[in-house]
Structure 1
Amino acid sequence: MSLAQRLLSVASWYEPSGCYLDAWARNDDDLRRLTDAFPGVNVTSYGTDGADLPASVYLGAGTFAQVREALGTWADITRCYVLWHNLRWPSVPDLGLAEEYKYAELQVACNSHDIHCEEWAAEHTVFVHTRPGDDERVAWLAAQVDARVRVVARRTDRLSAW
């Protein structure tokens, strides 16, 4: 979370309420624990033939403190992620890059190495989403926060603080 907070401080603008958390409940116990932790969450069922599971549990967050609390609670239950989607990456004139808002997103995947949290991992992963081909921007952002870049997919780069 400290790496995400440092990256958000580099953003030229972000709206704290433009943030949400998403977790997958694959069994009744996980669903109960996720919804008990934060009453009022939105639950969308993706089960077939009338089954309630699996389900996506969605929570909007307005402050970084709320994100930290919810993510800490949910990560103890299942794989989940937080996504800041209403932000702007700053212009980088030295690289010929204008301010970016259309593709600018920041995501932390808890206990996963992929953006959809399908692959379990012992650690968390920070993803910087940018315009396709803006690899230089990602490297520049990483340098601003003393992180490294590892490309894991087109349009998505993984930053690691270790």
Structure 2
Amino acid sequence: MSNPIAYPVFRTTDPVLALRVARQLVAVGDWQYAEVSVDVELCTVPEVLRIREALPDAWFRKEDVEDWAQDPSDPTGLHGGVHAPTLSSDPDFLTSHLPLWASMQYRPVGSVEEEFAVLVGPNIGEIWWSSLVWPDVPESGIQGEANNARVSLLFNCRARDLDERAGYHTVLVHVLRRSSDKEAEERHASWLAGQIGQSVIGPRQE
């Protein structure tokens, strides 16, 4: 069962540079079977319409537990997700459901990252690469890892829960969570970061 933990290894105000570093980190592992996903929070109608036009294969959803509890039948489809071509463009409808999240999941590596890094703009968002394989490093006591090998790039936010805005972008490396050996966790994250000239720069993120 996958149970990763993430460590920040790079931070910058330049989204292009952040993406470059994230890609370098992805390349440390075996990414033959890797996939990439993106997610962005949209707080205004113009932003929703802009992303709907730019990413016609995106899915839009509303993350509101109270709204779900009030009407679990999901009449708008926004709890389950609405495909961009079928999302209403009516401003009154969209306004009543803001913020909306737009996502594209499990795409081929290299298919969406560069475009998304430009499109995300001032919004909170994330790119994450999954199904990587971290290499064995026997001389450092590090075992190869597949189930938990991931890389995340956070835009305009502090942490992976995507609920605290920040004026920078952060690259995180994911390794196997080891509740009984956090030093081994951080040693693995540090080794991976070191392969691209970076280092762990903050506490781990759940």
- TM-score bracket relative to the smaller structure: 0.7 to 0.9
TM alignment of 1:6-155, pairs within 5 A? 6-16=24-34, 18-47=35-64, 48=67, 51-60=96-105, 61-64=107-110, 66-74=112-120, 76-132=121-177, 133=182, 134-154=185-205
Aligned residues: CA RMSD: 2.0
Q: Distance in 1 between matches of 2:156 and 2:47?
A: 15
CA contact (8 A) 1:71 1:81 kept: no
Give the Å deviation of 1:126: 0.2
Paired residue type of 1:91: D
Three-state SS of the structure 2 residue aligned to 1:10 is: coil
Using the size of structure 2 for normalisation, the TM-score is: 0.67
Q: Percent identity?
A: 22
CA contact (8 A) 2:160 2:205 kept: no
Paired residue type of 1:100: E
Q: Distance in 2 between matches of 1:100 and 1:80?
A: 26
Give the Å deviation of 1:15: 2.7
Q: Distance in 1 between matches of 2:55 and 2:153?
A: 19
Q: Which runs of 5+ in 1 are unaligned?
A: 156-162
Using the size of structure 1 for normalisation, the TM-score is: 0.83
Three-state SS of the structure 2 residue aligned to 1:13 is: coil
Paired residue type of 1:128: V
Paired residue type of 1:119: E
Give the Å deviation of 1:123: 1.6
